[in-house]
Structures are given as C-alpha cells and as structure tokens.
Structure 1
Amino acid sequence: MVATAILAALALLLGTAAFGPAEPASAAVAAGKPVKPPKPGGSTELEYAAVGDSFAAGVGGGSYLDTSCYRSANSYPRQLDADANKRLVSFPACTGASTVETLAQIATISTTAKVVTVTVGGNDVGFSNVMRNCFAFPSDSCQSSIDAGAAIAASQAFRDKVAGVITAIRTRTEPDAKVIVAGYPLLFHLNSSGVNTRYQWADEVNAETVVLNNVIESVAVGTGATFVDVEDDFAGHGIGSGSSWIVDWMYVNWNTAFHPTATGYAAYANAIRAVPVP
C-alpha cells in the first residue's frame, strides 16, 4: 500500500497524462499584480502569458496556488510578473502537460498577450518514466526508458509537435508578440570524473537532456521563436552539488522531486529577462 501511494504521488507531479490542460477558471488563480496606470509617455505593462508543463508551472518552488496543476507563486512566470514591464494575465501551465495538453492551454490565453513563455517537451519523451525507473525506484527498465525518450526526441513527429505549439501561440496572439521557449536544466551535478556519486544514471540523463534541449532550440529558432538555454545558468547547482537548485528525491515530498527550487526558478526568470521584448 505504501509503495502504491508513493508511485501515485510520483506520477502525480512528474508528468503522467492524468493531468490535462488547466481549466480557464483554475488558471485565474495565477492572476498576479493589479493593472497599473499608464507610464509616462503612454506605455503600459506588456500582457504576459505562460504555458507548458511542470517546469513552467513551478513545481518544486513551493507556495502553490492550486492543487490541480501545482502552479507556484515562486514559478518563473510569477517572478517575471513582478517586473515593471510585464503583467501576467494568463497562466494555464500545468503539471503533466505534454505538447498535446499545452495546445489546449493556448486556447485559454489572452489574445492580446505581447509576451508568451513556454517550457514543454519533457513529458513527450517520458520524463516521469525515466525519473521513476532510473532514480526513484531503479529497475531494469531504466536504460530502455532512456532509449525510448531519446528515440522520441530524435523523431520528426516530436519536432512537429513542438513546432505546432509555437505556431498555435503565434496564431492565438498578435503578430508582434514575443514567443520565448525556455529549455530544461541539467538535473544532476557531475564530479571531475563525470559521475554523480548518488545516482548511477545521472550522466546519461544529463547527456540526453542536452540532446532534448538542442532539438527544442532548433525547432524554436526555425519557427521564429526565441530559445532560452538555462543549462549554463544551473551549472554547479544540480543534485549532488554543494548548492543544489534542484529538489532531490531523497530529502523531500515525492511530488516535487527533480524540479527546480524557488532559487532555480529565479535563475530561469533572470535568463528570460535577458530576452528583449516589444
């Protein structure tokens, strides 16, 4: 019974299909600061929308705004909402969302959004399977889970799905809207020998994450979006480092494992801030 409960909790927030797109009403909990008056010269805050999976929702960041998608007050979208030039008006990002669920999220975002961020793709390549079979409950299925994810990431079908998300955002929003695709951090710190002392498969999963990010970046650039690579931003802060920005499976609630901490999401926000917006 205990093992069953743990597996259910792991599946809950590591990305099974049980979580579909956020409903518009639940997305409203993320409405951040109130509308500000126009700034001198007539300029106002840019309307901002955030879609995607658990990394976009802020799982691991704590201070959750809901229990359906586990959007966090410390997520990178909410941290960006604090900026003087942005106002978060749509936040349907949801735990477990693949490219399919993210497409459904897009239908709920404001059509007048000038900035849209998205992190998506990890669930398509089996993030939860790899985390479960390689780290949470290591099994003989670890390598096959990694190989299956790698095959999906290398496929044209996956590229088409990511491209479809970006195209749908462009169709939904105004022509001059800035679409920013944020990639994934490397979850594990490797020592000088290239290994993680706690997790056997850490180096291979890191390597496959680099491949996944490269594919997503290629698609993003090819569709006119801006890609934000956070690998360097998290360097030295993976699980096993002296200052980890990733929640370790061994020490906390199952539901937040292998996701950034609030500090990690601050690094995400800072990386996205470097992108010029309209």
Structure 2
Amino acid sequence: MRRSRFAVFVSATLLALGGALTSGAGSAQAATGGYVALGDSYSSGVGSGSYISSSGDCKRSTKAYPYLWNAANSPSSFTFAACSGAVTSDVLANQLSGLNSATGLVSISIGGNDAGFVDVMSTCVLGSDSTCLNRINTAKSFVDSTLPGRLDSVYSAISSKAPNAHVVVLGYPRFYKLGTTCLGLSEAKRSAINGAADYIDAAIAKRAADHGFAFGDVRTTFTGHEICSSNSWLHSLELLNLSESYHPTAAGQSGGYLPVLNAND
C-alpha cells in the first residue's frame, strides 16, 4: 500500500512538472481551436457570485476561472459548460457537445460529487468525530473502487471528441488550516477532511496522467488561504446560502484556480 501511494505521488509530481514545461501549449491551440470548460461547481464558479442568469441552476459565474481565462486570452471560441452539482455522468450526457477535432484547450474539475462531497461535509458538520471519519472512509473506498472507472469514461470521451486538445484536469483544495484555534469543526474532523481532499486529488492525478492530461494542483495556491486562516479563499458553512458552503470565493477562483490553469495551459 505504501509503495502504491508513493507511486501515485511520484506520478502526480512528474505530471505537474511536465505541465509547467509545456505551459502555453493550450493557449496557442485555443487561439485557433477554442476553449471548452467542463466540470462541476468548482469550475462553474459557485461561491464567487456574479452568476450568468442564462446559466440557471448551473450557476456559471463571470468570476470563475474559465471565464477569467477566456477574458484574458481571447480564444477563437469559448464554451462554458461546467455546471453546479455535476457528476461524471452529467459531463458525459450534457457537457461534451462543444468539443470537436479543432478544440485547442479543455479544462475540467470532476469527481467530488461522485464521491459524495456534499454528504461528507454535512455528516462532518452535524455528526461526531467518529461518524465523520467513518463517512470519509466510505468515500475513500468509493475513490478506490469506482471513481477511477468513471473518470476514465469522461477522459476517454474528451480524447475521442477533442483528439487535438490540450486537457488540464484541475483538482480540489484542502479545506482547513490546521493547528490553529478555529470555531466549528474539531481538529480531528478538519484533518480528516483535508486528508480526503488529498486522497481524491491523488486518484484524479493518476487517472489524468494515464490519459496524457495535465493535472493542475490547486492545493499549492490555496495554502495559507484555507478556512480558519486569516484570509480564507473558501466559504465555510453559509447558513443563508448553503449551496456556496465549502466553495471558492471570487478570490479563490482568481488567486487559487486561474494561476494553476495558466501554469498548465
């Protein structure tokens, strides 16, 4: 088990380095072939406000990293298909129509909802430490047994429909700053939730590498900006707007996600 996890870590690290060395490839391709942004709420921009009214419940934001990248780079076309609440099957069913053989750049964040992100967070907020940790262990088992196959289906479909595109798979941040006084969840819960983020990121990075995609690790840019830090880029529990809880703020999109896409595009 230790060797397996070490191999995942090495693979993800090498892929990140490779993405940095080829930075700019997606920008050049998108200039002529266009940019397509796929994925879940972390890509649609839930939590950052300024939602595009025509996007409805998908809550696509003008402050989300795909919209910001498009504004800064002016690709030949821009398809913003990411949608709040999306799971892998939603991407396959509803988000791939903008892809074609000319597509130059594709970005995607997906997998968190498949692994039960919302239920994990609600269980940890409302339950005991042991209940929280048990739910996280269940999610990890799903990440081991089922998520890789679902990611493979999505990544293979992207490659099939956009064979010439540079694809950047964005991961998820760690949620909590540890070792500090913080109201709300216990240190044990916060540590376990961070560990779960690491676990799913490792799995996503491995599947991305196996498909020849770049993996964008946002844990680096969010370091120092987690919940419980003095300058958080993530919403904590928002009782007046539950859907934005545990999502990046506008600053998290522009400071956490956009630089990582830029470094790997």
TM-score by length of 1: 0.77
1:149 aligns with 139
More helix by share: 2
Cα distance, 1:250 vs structure 2: 4.7
Amino acid at match of 1:133: T
Contact 1:60–1:256 (CA under 8 A) maintained in structure 2: yes
Separation in 2 of the partners of 1:254 and 1:55?
A: 15
Q: Name structure 1 gaps, 5 residues minimum.
A: 1-42
Give 3-state SS (helix, strand or coil) of 1:117's partner.
strand
Give 3-state SS (helix, strand or coil) of 1:202's partner.
helix
Contact 2:38–2:81 (CA under 8 A) maintained in structure 1: yes
Cα distance, 1:138 vs structure 2: 3.1
Cα distance, 1:198 vs structure 2: 2.8
Matched, 1:207 2:212: no
Query: Structure 1 residues 88 and 187, CA, compared in 2 at 3 Å: closer, same or farther?
Result: farther
Give 3-state SS (helix, strand or coil) of 1:227's partner.
strand
Separation in 2 of the partners of 1:183 and 1:88?
A: 24
Cα distance, 1:118 vs structure 2: 0.4
Contact 1:182–1:227 (CA under 8 A) maintained in structure 2: yes
Matched, 1:70 2:59: yes
Contact 2:31–2:76 (CA under 8 A) maintained in structure 1: no
Contact 2:42–2:247 (CA under 8 A) maintained in structure 1: yes
Cα distance, 1:68 vs structure 2: 1.6
Contact 1:62–1:74 (CA under 8 A) maintained in structure 2: yes
Matched, 1:180 2:168: yes
1:125 aligns with 115
State how 1:93-104 maps to structure 2 within 5 Å.
Answer: 93-104=82-93
Separation in 2 of the partners of 1:221 and 1:46?
A: 23
Q: Which of the numbers 49, 52, 60 marks the counterpart of 2:39?
A: 52
1:233 aligns with 221
Separation in 2 of the partners of 1:99 and 1:202?
A: 26
1:115 aligns with 105
Separation in 2 of the partners of 1:77 and 1:84?
A: 11
Contact 2:32–2:104 (CA under 8 A) maintained in structure 1: no
Cα distance, 1:256 vs structure 2: 0.5
1:24 aligns with none
Amino acid at match of 2:84: T
Separation in 2 of the partners of 1:88 and 1:64?
A: 20
Matched, 1:89 2:78: yes
1:33 aligns with none
Separation in 2 of the partners of 1:74 and 1:218?
A: 29
Separation in 1 of the partners of 2:67 and 2:37?
A: 9
Separation in 2 of the partners of 1:59 and 1:88?
A: 23
TM-score by length of 2: 0.80
Identity of aligned residues (%): 31
Q: Which moved more, 1:82-91 or 1:94-103?
A: 82-91
Amino acid at match of 1:54: S
Contact 2:46–2:60 (CA under 8 A) maintained in structure 1: yes
**Cα displacement string for residues 6-39 of structure 1 (whole angstroms, at most 9, x for unaligned residues):** xxxxxxxxxxxxxxxxxxxxxxxxxxxxxxxxxx
